[in-house]
Structure 1
Amino acid sequence: MRVESPRLWFFFTASSILCLLTSLSVLADAAQPPLPSVDTIREPPPSIRLSLDEAIALFLKQNFDVLITRYGIESNKGQEITAALFPNPLMTVGTLSSYTQGRTLSNSGQLFGQIQQLFELAGKRGYRVEAAGYGTRSAEAAFEDAVRQLGFTVKDTYYRIQLAQRRLILAEENRDRFSRILEINTIRFKKGYIAEVDLIRIRLQMVDFHAQVIQSLQDAESARGDLRQLLRLSPKTAVELTTEMDFRRIDPDINKLRVAALDLRPDIRAKRFTYSQREADLKLAKAYRIPDVTIAGGYAIQGSNGPDNPGQVALNAGIPLPLFNRNQGGIRQAEVAVQSAEADLNKTVNQVENEVDVAYRNLIQSRRLVEAYVGGVLDDARSTLNIVERAYERGGATILDLLDAARTSRTIQQNYIEALYSYQHNLFQLESAVGQEIRS
């Protein structure tokens, strides 16, 4: 191409260089990966690994219900402080003047002041302090009882996650096994070696196992949500559990458990303290039959035109006469409160005794069931499925035999997982009923 004009030649050269630079820029941008936008940058969610003991410790530190119950103890301590305080004295200041015979407030007025103090008799203050002290101890025992009950919930929720995870593992194993069987039999069906109805049966079984996987995932997420709420963790926190749901044989002594429950259960101690508090309230109500004494002392200053005694000192005492009100209603109410507290205590004792017996029997029965599975049933179920699967691959068993063996193996293994969880649940229930951890 020939360019005659210098201007045209310059324009053509500049355009060529610009196109070349643009092409190089596009190629450079294409060679470099695009930078991520601000919206695509995400911090990984926090993760926490927890053993069962660590979960309990975190629960005691952060659970809202535990914190609220602990505040109740501080409130009762405030009542103790109030009960120990003495009544405030009363100060009275006044003037008195005569306006006859040229007297005025400035030359004949009287200025007087007086202080009164109430003195409580019959040990009223001591009874109030005693009742408030029992109230604080009852609140402390109620706090321990809240920890006992919520601690059981934390343990049970922890193992509900383990139960769901064990179900998930079992469902995934069965799904993967039948996924391989489905792939093989799809090829066999195309070659005409098996009937279509057998392939359909395998597909239906695959759907069932897939549904079990989804259900196990949902159960695990639900239990994790409950645990995060108990431990006051963010919903974004990934929780990994390190304590496995294993079988540990426990053979406790029921007689020792009954005695320990009556001594250690914090709800029984709380009811005992409440009963003692009501007895102190009754003593206080009876003490109010005796009136209190008010003692007052004062001093008066008179003006220049007053009597000959310009300074006067006064001292007096006052006491109500218990002619009509001798706190009859308060005493009756306090007596009923004592009877009610005693009945409530007896009810709690009876309830605890029954809880211990029921939890003990449930533990023994669930232990026997777990031991029956551990004795060889699980291995037999797995072996049977493997034998039938190999026989089916060689043509020595039908698809119905394989499906029946798979269902039996799944049922046995799932029942074992359920029995193991039930055993742990009943063990935690017995520990909660007794009020202490059971080691043997």
Structure 2
Amino acid sequence: MKQTISRWLVSLTVVIAVLVLFSPCGFAEDPSAQALSLSDAITSAMSKRAELQAAAQVEASSAQLRRQAGFIPNPRLFYQSENLRPDMNFTQNVDTYAYATEALEVSGRRGARIATANSAVYRSQLTLEQRKRSIELRVAQTSWDALRLQYLQLLAEQSVGYYREILDYNEKRFNEGKIAAVDLLRVRLEEARAEANTESSRLAESEAKQQLAREMGLAQAGNWRLSEPFELLNEPKNPDSADSPQNERIEVKLAQQAIDTARANLMTQKAQGRPDIDALVGYKRTAGLNTMVAGFQMNLPVFDRNQGAVAAARFDIEANRSTLAAVQQQSASDLTLARMSYGMWKRQVTDRYRPLLDQAVDIANISRAAYREGGTDLLRLLDAEQLRVDTQSAWVEALGNYHQSVVSLEYAEGLEP
């Protein structure tokens, strides 16, 4: 009876240890590590990336050019004296003219100039937003990849701990003459492989976090612990437009804005073919008499009405319309592929890898308990452990691909991660 209870307690201890080992809270984390969430990483990138600062300066520059485009031309002042000669009465014999001219932009150049400047401002704003979205996408992708490698590194360290326990256990059995030297060597080999895998996992995690630091605008990665819930299947955000969410992408908006820029250029080229009027008003003094001067001047658009540039501007509009259609088609295709990828990886994680993982853990639990009770041999124990490691690694890879598919889907729908 006591022997049965003892065996039951040993089996229960092994099962509890395995459950703790594979539970999300069972990971041994560095207490000095700083928690870093995805939102923190994106915030850092938004404040530190030099590309965004440069794009913001370009936007401010275009805003000042729009302000400049609204000014009207400065007036021109003319003063001249005629019939100047020696020994003459300046006030009586010299003809004096003083007048000012002002260009009246009746051709529509000022309106076209303002429209072009407004288009440039909007384009600079979209360019800034595009760079933000691009950086957010890379930060999110790099962050999830680093989190996947962090998860694998923790699993590798846990496997090392398990193999060390098995090695200690079998070294005692070898010293007692209960196992052969070849079995002890096999356990040592598996422990060495686990150690090597841990070192490789640690290096891969460090490289991924350094890559994340670069995307965040930092020169060197800190002692971070990525805090996003890796095992949680986060659902993608819902787009604002359910019919054609891909049109919310910045690439589509930039293509649409290019058409507006081409239309503003057409307005400018048409205005260049129409004359403006220079109005003149002033003062004239001749032979002591004061009179007023008024008039205007303008170019006569007889031959050159800027016909070639106007026709070229129309072709530019059509070209940009074709470009918009191509960008919309590409965006719709990207969205379809992103939805396919998201659906496939969600099914893989929930319907395929999760049940396999549970079965592999159950097999490992049973094999450990049976081995300690002498109900199985060492090879079966190591095979069961390797099966668990391979299955869990495949599950982590599938989870990582799922999170990447969510990021890609949100980007294809024009959403921020």
> Do both share a fold (TM > 0.5)?
yes
**Contact 1:90-1:115 within 8 A present in 2 as well:** yes
Q: What residue in structure 1 maps to residue 56 of structure 2?
A: 70
Q: 1:281-320 to 2 correspondence within 5 Å?
A: 281-301=265-285, 308-320=287-299
By how many angstroms is 1:419 displaced?
A: 0.6
Deviation readout 1:204-227 (Å, 9 max, x if unpaired): 222221122122222222222233
**Contact 1:47-1:239 within 8 A present in 2 as well:** yes
The counterpart of 2:390, out of the listed 406, 411, 415, is 411
Pick the structure with greater CA Rg.
1
Q: What residue in structure 1 maps to residue 366 of structure 2?
A: 387
Cα gap change, 1:323/1:367 in structure 2, threshold over 3 Å: closer, same or farther? Answer: same
Q: What residue in structure 1 maps to residue 308 of structure 2?
A: 329
Deviation readout 1:199-247 (Å, 9 max, x if unpaired): 3322222222112212222222222223333333463643333321133
Q: What residue in structure 1 maps to residue 26 of structure 2?
A: none
CA distance in structure 1 between the aligned counterparts of 2:159 and 2:345, rounded to whole angstroms: 26
**Contact 1:178-1:202 within 8 A present in 2 as well:** yes
CA distance in structure 2 between the aligned counterparts of 1:47 and 1:235, rounded to whole angstroms: 15
Matched, 1:85 2:64: no
Amino acid in structure 1 at the alignment position of 2:166: I
CA distance in structure 1 between the aligned counterparts of 2:305 and 2:236, rounded to whole angstroms: 60
The counterpart of 1:225, out of the listed 210, 214, 217, is 210
Deviation readout 1:141-163 (Å, 9 max, x if unpaired): 33333222222222222222221
Gaps of 5+ in 2: 1-31
Matched, 1:56 2:42: yes
CA distance in structure 2 between the aligned counterparts of 1:332 and 1:116, rounded to whole angstroms: 33
By how many angstroms is 1:195 displaced?
A: 3.1
The counterpart of 2:114, out of the listed 113, 129, 142, is 129
Once the two structures are overlaid, the 10-residue window that deviates more, 138-147 or 158-167, is: 138-147
Cα gap change, 1:201/1:308 in structure 2, threshold over 3 Å: closer, same or farther? Answer: same
Q: What residue in structure 1 maps to residue 169 of structure 2?
A: 184
Matched, 1:267 2:254: no
CA distance in structure 2 between the aligned counterparts of 1:416 and 1:229, rounded to whole angstroms: 28
**Contact 1:142-1:267 within 8 A present in 2 as well:** no
Amino acid in structure 1 at the alignment position of 2:278: T
Amino acid in structure 2 at the alignment position of 1:324: F
The counterpart of 2:80, out of the listed 87, 90, 94, is 94
Q: What residue in structure 2 maps to residue 203 of structure 1?
A: 188
By how many angstroms is 1:370 displaced?
A: 0.4
By how many angstroms is 1:104 displaced?
A: 8.1
Q: What residue in structure 2 maps to residue 36 of structure 1?
A: none
How many percent identity over aligned positions? 23
Gaps of 5+ in 1: 1-45, 302-306
Amino acid in structure 1 at the alignment position of 2:75: P
Amino acid in structure 1 at the alignment position of 2:337: V
CA distance in structure 1 between the aligned counterparts of 2:168 and 2:127, rounded to whole angstroms: 61
Amino acid in structure 2 at the alignment position of 1:139: S
**Contact 2:360-2:388 within 8 A present in 1 as well:** yes
